[in-house]
Each structure stands twice: as structure tokens, then as C-alpha cells.
Amino acid sequence: MPRFSIVIAAYRVQGFLSSCLDSALAQSFDDIEVVAVDDCSPDHCGTIVDEYAARDSRVVPVHQQVNSGPGHARNAGVDQATGDYLLFLDGDDTLAPGTLQGLADRLDLCEDPDILYFNHVRTYWWDRAEPSLFGGLLASAGTDVFSIQERPEFLRIFAMSSNRVYNRAFYTRHGFAFSEGIYEDALLSYKTMLTAERIACVDLVGLEYRQRRVGASTGSPGEKHFAIFKQYARLFEFLDGRPHLEPLRPMLFERAVSHFLFCLGRRSRVAAEDRPRFFDRAAAWYRGHVPDGFTPPGDAEWRFEALARGSFVRYREHELTERAAAGARKLKRMTRRPLAARAKRSLYRVHRRRSVDPNLAVYSAYWGRGMLCNPAAVYYKAKELAPEVHGLWVVRKAAVDSLPEGVDYVISGTRDFYWAMARAKYFVNNVNFANDVVKRPGTVHLQTFHGTPLKCMGLDQQRYPAAASGMSFGNLLKRVDRWDYALSANRHSSEVWERVYPASYRLLEYGYPRNDVFFSASADDVRRIRKELEIPDGARTVLYAPTIRDYQKGFTPRLDLERFSRALGPDAVLLVRAHYSYQPQAGLRQLQEAGLVADVSRHPSVEELCLAADVLVTDYSSIMFDYANLDRPIVVYADDWDIYQATRGVYFDLLSGRPGDTPGPVARTEDELIAVFRDDRWRDDEATALRTAFRARFCQFDDGHAAERVVRTLMLGQDATDAAEAASPPSVFQRHGLPVKRGLITGVPPHAARPTPLSPDPN
């Protein structure tokens, strides 16, 4: 029998569940079992639970056949629990290191109380941690063991399910269980506290209570929030049968009403149109349960009095007075906008009064750098499958000449740009449109992204000043709120996107449209590309494509390109692809003039470069995830891994050598890199095994039909299943890509399609 049974309820928390499970399983006190309940979650929660159960025998997987809510999921977990004590966690929360050891020590000291309370910290999505208000109260208990009648002030402890452990014998003996509906934890919290004869506390900050921006059960308004009145009605029915608890009724009444007012004041719980009805229900509950002689708390007296009178008008008048004062203060802080900007915004507002054009789509990529990447692939597929939808590209002025003939465009920030932003129905981008773009009702925004995340992205960048320099995370989230759909190429991306870009969009696990070309390219296409790049027949082609560094400015090759080129030998061609953020480099031009490298930094299509290459050498660039679709050798050259992960942050250890983490041989120095090629380790059996596991993890959804699925979902109104079924049969171009023999491309399966130049670079 383990000391602790940790019951974790998981529903739509795929981006957080691994951290939750890790925080429990990595505790120094390991006499535990983790009962992980997948509440029929539609995302990857069930798979994550099973993967952890396969690796760690302490994990007990439970799969609900239907989604029943967090309360019933916890009840299902309790049914499987065998430990001395129950600890409930939500799938997006975590335990601080050392928590279980601290709890076990206090339980021993207090001789196994019915309930042991501990402290928590709220962690917010903007990377802020806020201590709870109860540290002093918990500390005041010392090592005392008491009942709530003896210490009624402890009724003020936050009524949640995760800041305490329950003696399982006590819990089951009294038949405790979570009820249906939300706010079920408040009801159980009070009932167990009122029943317990032996309560103990420890001022240990053990729970990291995550405040999610979206996705929490209490985070969206609706009828479900009216369940709070039923939950507290059940609590007072519980009191009615226990006269010895009567002295606690006034404090419990104050706790209940304060909870009602808390919900009423938050639009995330009670929508504006529901507020009068919610207020009336709260007022009726107030009148039906108010104890004789009750005195409202001084800091909320007017709110309690408004409920007592049942006057929402009076409540609203007082509330508006407070808001008007706050608005006046905000107005003083606002600055006037430049005249030209105000004129364009005024014109934009005029255009937004016109109807949305159902056959206009706006595309953009890499902040207007051209017709590139995933948006370009979607554009071409839309012309094929939805020709009635007219595509329009948003580009910078400098990128106009790069557009293919016949492609319509507008230039960012112009009057035409604001006209297009106001009228279009579809918006497709691999970054974000400008902050002042307003999402109109009925429009559809797709975020395609432009890579698989190895480095920290979105809100996770807040912890890395070099990566976050100049970024407004508030504006980022406003842009994210415009998204209706976001693309994912693998489960790893899905879990990261959900966590670092929290909003109500729908993830489309369709793969990346820009990678479709890897499944449709023909032998003639590859020969054409290599000829255009002036690669001699039979030459081994090495593509070196490093990524940008946040901690340095300008492109400085991380290795001696001249030395590396000479080490590869005269039969090899070294293609060098600097990140698109960097300006052309004189050093690369000189090496190219000497015939040692081919500078392809400004080549319009990184996909064509991948098709031409026999092997990829990169560091932390997202190009490795796309290139893996070709099943060709990948070599990681990471001389500054320690600095990179410290300044930017990473999601997994690329250099670990573990299957699934590392795509091929790893070199930390120039000598090691040269040795990888000299000893033929770049393509040996070990390299092949690593690449196979890497592809299995990161090429899950790419199959050559991503763009088709996107267009069918966005523009043809098909759901995910219909879009997938409508996609063409798998291409004859095998998933393992172009066959490689002795390091040279020797041929490809025949196919009629021609690759379209897409992206300049992954991220």
C-alpha cells in the first residue's frame, strides 16, 4: 500500500499533462501511485497517460468511456486508489520538488490526521507567480491537530481540491465523492472540513496552481456557472442535519455569498446578458439562507446589501461609478496617435461597415517577405480546389518583385491593405497580421506556423530575456485571439502550441502544407533543381543550414566553412543557407567565388534545397523536422548548445542521443564534425536508427496532402474527417523520400507533380 495515491484528472490538457505527471513521479519521496484519469479527452491526453504507464509501474491509467467532468473523473480515480492518503491534482497543475517528503514528514508528526492542508502558489500564463493569502493562517496552526469547531477561521482556506491530502480511510468511511457540475470542489472541501475530527496544517508551498488563459472549466461563461447555487444549497442541507455545526453557519454563508459575487464580477464566468439573472438567483439564495443577525463584511458591505434588497439596478449603479473612476484614470494615460495613422484607421473602420466578401482570401508569410511557406502551399491548393476564392497577398514593398506574374497583392500598411483586411473572409499567415487588424464576425483566420518547436516559443519566451527583447506578450495574445485554426505537424507541436499560445482556436493536426512537395516531387524535378544549382552529376551534396542566435547579431558561421569544405573532398558540394533574418555576407561570397561553397541564402525555396541535398547539417533549426520527411541523413553540429539553451530555452535535449530526440550523429566541435563524415558515421546503422525514431515522433501528420485538408476544412466547409477522406490516395512517392546510395541521389519514383517554391527558411 503506497503512502500517497495521486489522482490526476485530465481533459484537454495535453500541453500540460506531461509536466504534471513528471512533477509527481520525480518527487524524492517515491512511495506513491499516480492514478491518471483520461476523462475521454479528445486530444492526446489518453496517449500521454498510456505512455507514462508503460514507462513507470507506479502510474495507473484509467480511461473514461464518456466525458463526465472533473468531479466524476476524480471519483473514478479514487475507486482505483490504494494509498493511505489521497491527493487530487488537475492535469495542468504541478507539485513543487520536495512536496511529498514534506507532507509525509508532517503526517508522521501529527499521527495521520484526517486532512492535512498545505500551501500553494498561483502561476499565471504571463510568467508570474503569486503567493497564496493563506501562508500566515497555515503557519499559525503549528503542529496542532484540531477540528474546525475549535479553529473556525480555517474555513477561509481556499476551497479547492488540490491544497490538501485526505486520509483515504476517513474519506471512504464517510462516503465522500465529488458531485456533478463545476464548483464541486468547494462543496466537497467544506463537507470534509466540517466532518473531520483531526485536521493538521503545514506551511509548505507544494502546489503550483496554474491559472490558464483559456481551457479551464470555469474560464468561459454560460449556464454551467449557475450550478454554484445548487452546490452551496447542498452544503446548507448538509448543515441542517448537524446542529452542532450551527455556530459555523454565518461564516459559511459569508463564504458562499462572496463566491457568488466573485463570479458575478467576472465576464469569464457570467456573461453580460446573464448578469441580471445570476444576480437574481444569488439574491434569492441570499434571502433563503441568511442567518439571523448576520452582519456583512465591511469591505463588501454595499454588495451584500444590494443582494439583500434584490436590487440589480442599485448594484449596477455602484459598479458603474467605480468603473467610471477607473476609466478616467486610464484616459489620462493615453497618448494621441499620429494624424496619418488615425486617418488610415478611420478608413479601416468605414470599410468594416461593409459586408465581408465570402470569396476573398488574404495570405501573408514571414512579415510580408513574399509568397512563401505554408501559406503559399495553401494558396496554390485553394486555386485548384476552391477557384471561386480569390487570393490576395500582403507583402512589403521590397518583396513585390519576387512575386510570380499574375499574383495579386497589397502592400502592408497602405489604404489597400486596410481595405483587404476589412473585406476578406479568409486570412492565412505563418506569423501574425498587424496588431490593429480586427477580426470581424464570420471571418476565418488560420495560423499555419513555420516550424516545429525545439526552442521555446510564445509565452515560454518570457523566461528568456534575449528571446523576449522588444516583445509585447499582451499584444501577442491579442493577435492569438484572432485565430480560428492553427496547424500542427506532430503531437509535440500540438502540446506546445496549446500551452504557449493559449486561446480558443482549434488545432488542425494536418501536417505542414509546405512539406507536401516532398511527397510529390519527381526524379525530373530533382534533376532540374540540382542543375539550376549547378551541382555536378554524382556530387555528394551537403546542405548546411544553421538557425538564428538571439544572443548575437549578424550571421557568423559557427564553423570554418573553408576547412569543412576541403575536408568533404572535391566530389562534394557544400550549400550554405544563412537564416533569412541575416543580411548577405561578404565572407560567403568570397568562399563561393573560390568554389568552396554555394551560398544559397537567398534561394527562394528551402524545400528545393532539401530535395537537392544528400545530407543536412544543422544546429537547432526547424529545417531538421521537415527534412526528416525525406528520410535522408541529418547531422547536428551544436558547438554552443549550452549557451543556446540557456539564452533561448529548449523543449527537449537534442544532443541526448535518445531515440526520438536526436535525428542523427552529433558533433560539438569542428574536428568531431569532420570525423563524422570521414568515418562515414553520417549514414551508418546507428544514424539510420536515430533518424527512424526521430521521424516517427516528428513526421506524424505529413503525408503529402496537408494543403488539401486545410482548404477543404477552411473553404469547403468539410469537417476534419471529411477533409481527410477527400484527400487523394497516398502518393507513389514513398514516405522515406529519395533513395540514397553511397551518399548520392540516384533516382526517385515517377510522379507528375512539380514542386512549388515555398519557404525561404523554417524558424
What are the tens digits of pLDDT across the range 134-149? 999 999 999 999 999 9
Residue where the block lists cell 520536495: 98
pLDDT recorded at residue 326? 64
744: confidence class by pLDDT, cuts 50, 70, 90: very low
Give the highest mean pLDDT range of 252-256, 299-303, 307-311: 252-256
Q: Is 404 helix (H, G, I), strand (E, B) or coil?
A: coil
Q: Which residue has the cell 525555396?
A: 605
Least confident range from 59-73, 306-320, 548-562: namely 548-562
Distance of CA 704 to the CA centre of its chain: 25
d(CA 440, CA 356): 8
Closest CA to 156 of 185, 188, 190, 184: 190
pLDDT of residue 187: 94
Is the pLDDT at 638 greater than 60? The verdict is yes
Split at pLDDT 50, 70, 90, the class of 57 is very high
At residue 498, the pLDDT reads 93
Going by their DSSP bridges, the two strands 199-211 and 115-124 should be labelled as parallel
Cβ-based neighbours of 197, under 8 Å, separated by 6 or more = 114, 147
Q: Report the alpha-carbon angle 227-184-167, nearest 5.
A: 165
In tens, the pLDDT along 583-619 reads 556 677 888 888 888 999 888 899 999 999 999 999 9
pLDDT, one tens digit per residue, over 77-114 is 999 999 999 999 999 999 999 999 999 999 999 999 99
pLDDT tens-digit map of 404-461: 999 999 999 888 999 999 999 999 999 999 888 999 999 999 999 999 999 999 999 8
Determine contact, residues 733/549, Cβ cutoff 8 Å: no
Stretch 306-311: mean pLDDT, rounded?
91
Evaluate if residue 761 carries a pLDDT over 60. Answer: no
Cell of 351: 470599410
Identity (one letter) of the amino acid at 399?
A
**CA 303 vs CA 183, 228, 684: distances in Å:** 21, 18, 73
Cα 149 to the chain's mean position, in Å? 45
- What is the enclosing helix (H) or strand (E) of 712? helix 706-714
Residue 553 reports pLDDT greater than 70:
no
Sketch out the chain's domains with CATH numbers.
4-217 (3.90.550.10), 246-333 (no CATH), 349-514 (3.40.50.11820), 515-705+731-745 (3.40.50.12580)
Query: Would you say residue 705 has pLDDT above 90?
Result: yes
* b/e burial code for range 611-630 (CB count within 10 A of at least 16 → b): bbbbbbbbbbbbbbbbbbbb
* DSSP letters for 64-122: -SS---HHHHHHHHHHH--SSEEEEEETT-EEPTTHHHHHHHHHHHTTS-SEEEEEEEE
Total Cβ atoms within 10 A of residue 93: 22
Residue of higher predicted confidence among 181 and 53: 53
Secondary structure element (H or E) that encloses residue 618, with its range: strand 615-618
Q: Is the pLDDT of residue 465 over 80?
A: no
Instruction: State whether residue 206 is helix, strand or coil.
Output: strand
pLDDT at position 754 is: 33
Cα–Cα distance, 733 to 735 (Å, whole number)? 7
Among candidates 551, 600, 598, 599, which has minimal Cα distance to 573?
598
Question: In this structure, are residues 512 and 626 in contact, taking their beta carbons and an 8 Å threshold?
Answer: yes
pLDDT at 302: 87
Q: For residues 260 and 246, what is the distance between their CA atoms, to the nearest angstrom? A: 22
Q: How many CB atoms lie within 10 A of CB 414?
A: 13
Q: Is the pLDDT of residue 758 over 50?
A: no
Q: With bands split at pLDDT 50, 70 and 90, how would you rate the model's confidence at 581?
A: low
Runs of H (alpha helix) within 413-480: 415-423, 465-468, 473-480
pLDDT of residue 729: 46
Q: How would you classify the pairing of strands 94-95 and 199-211?
A: antiparallel
Cα 680 from Cα 359, distance rounded (Å): 54
More confident residue, 360 or 332: 360
Q: Which residues pair with 544 in a beta bridge?
A: 576, 617
Rounded to 5 degrees, what angle do the CA atoms 365, 715, 519 make? 60
Q: Are 463 and 550 in contact (CB under 8 A)?
A: no
Question: What does the DSSP 8-state code read for residue 46?
Answer: H
Share of the chain above pLDDT 70, in %: 90
Average pLDDT value over all residues in the chain? 89
Residue for cell digits 530526440?
Answer: 661
